[in-house]
Amino acid sequence: MDNAQHYFDQLMFGVAPYLALIIFFLGTIQRYRSQAFSYSSLSSQFLENQRHFWGMVPLHYGILVVLLGHVIAFMFPRQLLAWNGHPVRLYILEISALIFGLLTLFGLVSTLVRRLSFNKIRTVTSPADIVLHLLLLVQVGSGVYVAVSHSWGSSWFAASASPYLWSIITLDPDITYVLAMPFAVKLHIVNAYLVIGFFPFTRLVHILVIPNPYLWRKPQVVRWNREPQARG
Site membership for other proteins, residue 118 (CB under 8 A): no
**Whole-angstrom distance, CA of residue 53 vs CA of residue 49:** 6
Binding test (CB under 8 A) with other proteins, winner from 35, 64, 71, 85:
85
Question: Which CA distances in Å does 145 have to 14, 101, 165?
Answer: 24, 10, 21
DSSP 8-class letter at 159: I
Query: With respect to other proteins, which residue has the nearer C-beta, 32 or 152?
Result: 152
Please list the alpha-helical segments (H only) found in the chain.
Answer: 2-9, 16-34, 50-75, 77-83, 87-117, 119-123, 127-149, 153-156, 162-169, 183-198
Q: Of the ranges 35-43, 112-120, 169-177, 209-217, which one interacts with other proteins (CB under 8 A)?
A: 169-177
Residue from 213, 197, 195, 200 nearest 39 by CA = 200
Tell me how far apart the 2 most distant CA atoms of the chain are, in Å.
81
Site membership for other proteins, residue 90 (CB under 8 A): yes
Query: With respect to other proteins, which residue has the nearer C-beta, 40 or 149?
Result: 149
User: Which residues, other chains included, contact 96 with Cβ-Cβ below 8 Å and sequence gap of 6+?
Assistant: none
Residues 187-226 that bind other proteins (CB under 8 A): 221, 223-226
**Whole-angstrom distance, CA of residue 182 vs CA of residue 186:** 7
Site membership for other proteins, residue 163 (CB under 8 A): yes
Binding test (CB under 8 A) with other proteins, winner from 138, 151, 195, 203:
151
**Total residues in contact with other proteins, by rule CB under 8 A:** 65
Binding test (CB under 8 A) with other proteins, winner from 39, 118, 152, 166:
152
Q: What is the distance, to the nearest Å, from the Cα of residue 82 to the centroid of all Cα atoms in its chain? A: 27
CB of 160 vs other proteins, minimal distance in Å: 6
Residue from 200, 196, 198, 202 nearest 17 by CA = 196
Query: With respect to other proteins, which residue has the nearer C-beta, 202 or 209?
Result: 202
Site membership for other proteins, residue 180 (CB under 8 A): yes
Instruction: Give the footprint of other proteins on this chain (CB under 8 A).
Output: 2, 7, 10, 14-15, 18-19, 22-23, 26, 49-50, 53-54, 57-58, 61, 78, 81, 84-87, 90-91, 94-96, 98-99, 101-103, 106, 147-153, 155-156, 158-160, 163, 171, 173-174, 176-177, 179-182, 185, 221, 223-229
